[in-house]
A = this chain, B = another copy of it.
Amino acid sequence: MHTKSNPQKENSNNSKKPSIIDVAKLAGVSPGTVSNALNSSGYVKSSTKEKVLHAIKELNYIPNRAGRILKTNKTNLIMLAVPDTSNEIYFRMIESVQEYMKPKGYSILLYYTNGTLQEELRTLFLLRERVIDGLILVHFSYNEELFQAIESSNSPVVLISMCNHLWAGKGNPFDTISVDVHRGIYESTKHLINMGHSKIGYLAGKKGLTVYEQRYNGYCQALNDAGIKYRNDYVMWNDYTILAGNNSSRSLLLLQDKPTAICASNDHQALGSWQALQDMNIAVPSEIALVGMDNIISSKIIGLTSFDMHEDIMGNEAAKLLYSHLEENSNTFKDIYLVPSIRLRNSSIKLK
Show the binding face of A for B, using Cβ within 8 Å. 1-6, 8-10, 12-13, 17, 60, 62-67, 69-70, 73, 75, 77, 85-86, 88, 91-92, 94-95, 98, 107-112, 125-126, 128-131, 152, 154, 168-169, 171-173, 242, 271, 274-275, 278, 297-298, 301-303, 331-337
Contact = CB atoms under 8 A, between A and B. Distances in A.
B331 A9 contact: yes
Contact of A332 (B3, B75, B129, B334): B3
A3 B6 CA distance: 59
A2 B91 CA distance: 27
Given A4-B171, A6-B333, A332-B5, A129 B95 contact: no
Number of copies: 2
21 contacts: A2-B334, A3-B334, A3-B335, A4-B332, A6-B173, A62-B128, A63-B129, A66-B66, A66-B69, A69-B69, A77-B109, A86-B91, A98-B112, A107-B109, A107-B111, A107-B126, A108-B110, A108-B111, A271-B297, A275-B301, A297-B298
Contacts of A8: 173
Contacts of A70: 64, 66-67, 69-70
Contacts of A66: 66, 69-70, 73, 75, 130
B107 A108 contact: no
Given A2-B335, A10-B331, A67-B70, A107 B131 contact: yes
Nearest to A317: B1
A28 to B, nearest CB: 25
Contacts of A336: 1
Nearest to A63: B129
Contacts of A172: 6
